């Protein structure tokens, strides 16, 4: 074959150091019931947050707690840092990327102040949601329940 076919899968990498859990284990019904889409979460042991895919930054919430990414195959990913952290109005979050910027899988995109977030009564889960889940065939997550390191391969999306 002379022409290479467009990739039909997207690899997913850990967004931080910590325990990898199924999205159904997130203590927020909007995420755990998959209303926003399929995904997974990391219960972080530190505040460093990394891109789970190679792609483009398509949106950054003004409260800095959530970042929208898009792969070259059109997969849309929301990286949501913490639960109800929108109420912190950006406090406790430092971003290292801008909208329309290209990111590599495993590139640090943010830092969370876990102590500040916890002291405000918020959960620190880093949630990865495929917001256009209806366009994928399958999401496979490996190492569920394990302690993972940032940029470790944790799954694959089949298109």
**pLDDT score for 29:** 97
Nearest to 12 by CA among 66, 73, 53, 72: 53
**pLDDT score for 6:** 58
80 is catalytic: yes
**pLDDT score for 1:** 45
Termini Cα distance of the chain = 21
pLDDT tens-place string over residues 63-86 = 999 999 999 999 999 999 999 999
Rounded to whole angstroms, the maximal C-alpha distance in the chain is: 58
- Per-position DSSP letters for the chain, written without gaps between them: --SPPPP-EEEEE-SSSEEEEEGGGSS-HHHHTTSS-EEEEEEESSSEEE-SSSEEEEEE-TTSSEEEEE-TT--EEEEEEEESGGGGTTTTEEE---TT-EE-TT-EEEEE-HHHHHHTT-EEEEEEEETTGGG-SEEEE-STTSEE-TT-EEEEEE-
β-pair type (66-70, 93-95): unpaired
**pLDDT score for 86:** 97
Catalytic residue among 12, 21, 39, 80: 80
Provide the whole-model pTM.
0.94
Dihedral sign of CA atoms 41, 35, 61, 77 in order: positive
Q: Which domains does the chain have, with CATH numbers?
A: 9-158 (2.70.70.10)
Calculate mean pLDDT across residues 136-146: 94
pLDDT tens-place string over residues 98-136 = 999 999 999 999 999 999 999 999 999 999 999 999 999
Percent of the chain with pLDDT over 70: 96
Question: Does the pLDDT of residue 3 top 70, yes or no?
Answer: no
Question: Per-residue confidence at 151, pLDDT binned at 50, 70, 90?
Answer: confident
């Amino acid at each position: 074959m002379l022409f290479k076919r467009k990739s039909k899968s997207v690899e997913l990498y850990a967004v931080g150091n910590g325990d990898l859990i199924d999205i159904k284990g997130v203590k927020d019904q909007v995420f755990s019931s998959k209303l926003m889409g399929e995904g997974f979460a990391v219960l972080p042991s530190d505040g460093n947050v990394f891109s789970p895919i190679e792609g483009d930054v398509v949106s950054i919430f003004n409260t800095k707690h959530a970042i929208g990414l898009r792969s070259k195959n059109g997969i849309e990913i929301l990286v949501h840092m913490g639960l109800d952290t929108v109420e912190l109005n950006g406090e406790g979050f430092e971003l290292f990327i801008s909208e329309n910027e290209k990111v590599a899988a495993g590139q640090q995109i943010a830092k969370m102040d876990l102590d500040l977030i916890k002291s405000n009564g918020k959960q620190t889960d880093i949630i990865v949601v495929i917001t256009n889940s209806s366009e994928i065939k399958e999401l496979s997550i490996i190492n569920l329940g394990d302690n993972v390191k940032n940029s470790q391969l944790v799954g694959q999306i089949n298109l």
